[in-house]
């Protein structure tokens, strides 16, 4: 995966290179202007940028990229005093954010989740791990974190023909599906709560494999129903877990330091969809994403 990392502090760039340089193809930039030039001339799978940059800040940087038609997913790095700015970044399509001082383990976890973003996932269909149950777009997914990116790809592929599905809509749907399917696997099937997840992230060398081993011992499926027309996409996702109370999940706006690794998922989804609701038990979630209207230009 090719990543553009933009930060004006040389020590931070060097540290990022030292930690992740052997795992990913990294390109480093010290200014937004340099990052803008690189993003226009090269193709990246992900952009990570600090909010506070000289001359042109991170929001202006991403805004200019979007104006130029560059829709690469991005992560923002911010301080507590800039949390409102980070919310604006999420509205531009940020897939995650990190508060300074951040832990490199938090970034490592986020990068792992998106590592296989562009894999086709055909092998999962052949192995019947991803099944189309009805012509109404009902899917069944074996709970495997290792397949998460490919599951999302396959679901979005079923929507690819929608005329009103713009790049911004696809990115929002990706973020929502990643977070919610990931939650269904970790918390619904594996029964790992947020506190346990934080501890396991630092204890286990391969957290993904640890979760998948738990899920392999159970005969459970995650049900995903996708309903759409030319105005909106509705997704209903249900797991076989005990459910949870979404109101108890930390809100990063109210408590920015509540969690570095967990608790941001529901917040990220809410920022990317038009409505989000849970059943009383908390093991079924429904979200709606409204689609932009296609402008028909006169001939």
Domain limit, last residue, from 69, 104, 127: 127
Q: Are 7 and 49 in contact (CB under 8 A)?
A: yes
Q: Is residue 295 part of a domain?
A: no
- C-alpha 184/C-alpha 168 separation (Å) is 24
> Dmax of the chain from CA atoms?
62
Is 108 found in the same domain as 190?
Answer: no
Is pLDDT above 50 for 132?
A: no
CATH assignment of the domain containing 94: 3.40.50.2300
pLDDT-derived band at 262 (thresholds 50, 70, 90) equals low
Average pLDDT, the chain: 82
Domain limit, last residue, from 104, 127, 150: 127
pLDDT confidence of residue 125:
53
127 or 151, greater pLDDT: 151
- Residues 49-69: what's their mean pLDDT? 86
Is 280 found in the same domain as 145?
Answer: yes
Tokens matching residue 83: 């949390």
Q: Is residue 214 part of a domain?
A: yes
* Parent domain of 260: 135-290
Percentage of the chain lying above the pLDDT 70 cut: 81
Domain limit, last residue, from 127, 157, 173: 127
DSSP track, the chain: -EEEEE-S-HHHHHHHHHHHTTTSEEEEESSHHHHHHHHHHS--SEEEEES--SSS-HHHHHHHHHHTT----EEEEE-GGGHHHHHHHHHTTEEEEEESSPPHHHHHHHHHHHTTTT---HHHHHTTSEEEEETTTEEEE---GGGHHHHHHHHHHTTTT-TT--HHHHHHHHHHHHHHHHHIIIIIIS---HHHHHHHHHH-S-HHHHHHHHHHTS---EEEEEEE-SSEEEEEEE-SS----GGGS--TTT-TTS-SSSS-HHHHHHHHSSEEEE-SSSSEEEEEEEPPPPP----
Q: Is residue 73 part of a domain?
A: yes
Tokens matching residue 217: 């011992």
- C-alpha 138/C-alpha 164 separation (Å) is 21
Q: Which of 116-120, 206-210, 256-260, 273-277 has the highest mean pLDDT?
A: 273-277
Q: What is the pLDDT of residues 33-52, one digit of tens each?
A: 999 999 988 988 889 998 88
Is 208 found in the same domain as 160?
Answer: yes
Is pLDDT above 60 for 116?
A: no
Q: Are 275 and 224 in contact (CB under 8 A)?
A: no
- Residues 183-193: what's their mean pLDDT? 91
Is 122 found in the same domain as 210?
Answer: no
pLDDT-derived band at 298 (thresholds 50, 70, 90) equals very low
Q: Are 145 and 77 in contact (CB under 8 A)?
A: no
pLDDT confidence of residue 292:
74
- C-alpha 223/C-alpha 282 separation (Å) is 14
Least confident of 30-34, 54-58, 215-219, 244-248: 244-248
pTM for this prediction: 0.62
Number of domains in the chain: 2
- C-alpha 181/C-alpha 238 separation (Å) is 9
pLDDT-derived band at 273 (thresholds 50, 70, 90) equals very high
Beta-bridge partner residues of 140: 131, 223
Is 53 found in the same domain as 7?
Answer: yes
Is 233 found in the same domain as 164?
Answer: yes
Give the full edge-to-edge strand order of the sheet including 232-238: 130-134, 138-141, 222-228, 232-238, 284-290, 275-278
Q: What is the pLDDT of residues 237-253, one digit of tens each?
A: 999 988 887 777 666 65
Q: Are 73 and 171 in contact (CB under 8 A)?
A: yes
Q: What is the pLDDT of residues 133-180, one digit of tens each?
A: 545 789 999 999 989 988 998 898 888 667 677 878 888 999 999 999
Is 284 found in the same domain as 184?
Answer: yes
pLDDT confidence of residue 96:
79
- Within 10 angstroms of residue 156's Cβ, the number of other Cβ atoms is 18
Q: Are 255 and 155 in contact (CB under 8 A)?
A: no
Percentage of the chain lying above the pLDDT 90 cut: 35
CATH assignment of the domain containing 170: 3.30.565.10
Least confident of 3-7, 133-137, 255-259: 255-259
């Amino acid at each position: 995966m090719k990543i553009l990392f933009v930060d004006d502090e040389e020590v931070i760039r060097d540290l990022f290179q030292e930690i992740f340089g052997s795992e990913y193809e990294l390109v480093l930039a010290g200014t937004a202007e340099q990052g803008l030039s690189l993003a226009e001339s090269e193709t990246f799978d992900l952009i990570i940028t600090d909010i506070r940059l000289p001359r042109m800040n991170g929001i202006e940087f991403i805004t200019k990229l979007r104006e130029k038609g560059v829709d690469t997913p991005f992560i923002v790095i911010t301080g507590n005093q800039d949390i409102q700015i980070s919310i604006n970044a999420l509205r531009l399509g940020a897939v995650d954010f990190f508060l300074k001082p951040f832990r490199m383990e938090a970034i490592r976890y986020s990068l792992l989740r998106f590592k296989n973003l562009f894999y086709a996932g055909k092998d999962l269909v052949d192995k019947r791990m991803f099944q189309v149950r009805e012509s109404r777009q009902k899917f069944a997914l074996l709970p495997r974190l290792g397949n998460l990116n490919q599951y999302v790809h396959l679901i979005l592929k079923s929507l690819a023909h929608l005329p009103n599905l713009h790049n911004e809509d696809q990115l929002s749907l990706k973020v929502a599906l990643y977070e919610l399917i990931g939650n269904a696997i970790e918390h619904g099937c594996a029964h790992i709560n947020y506190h346990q997840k934080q501890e396991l992230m630092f204890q286990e060398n391969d957290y993904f494999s640890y979760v998948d081993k738990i899920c392999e011992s159970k005969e459970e499926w995650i049900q995903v129903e996708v309903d759409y027309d030319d105005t909106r996409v509705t997704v209903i996702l249900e797991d076989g877990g005990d459910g949870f109370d979404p109101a108890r999940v930390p809100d990063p706006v109210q408590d920015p330091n509540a969690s570095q690794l967990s608790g941001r998922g529901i917040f990220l989804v809410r920022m990317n969809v038009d409505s989000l609701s849970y059943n009383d038990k908390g093991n079924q979630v429904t979200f709606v994403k409204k689609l932009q209207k296609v402008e028909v230009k006169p001939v």
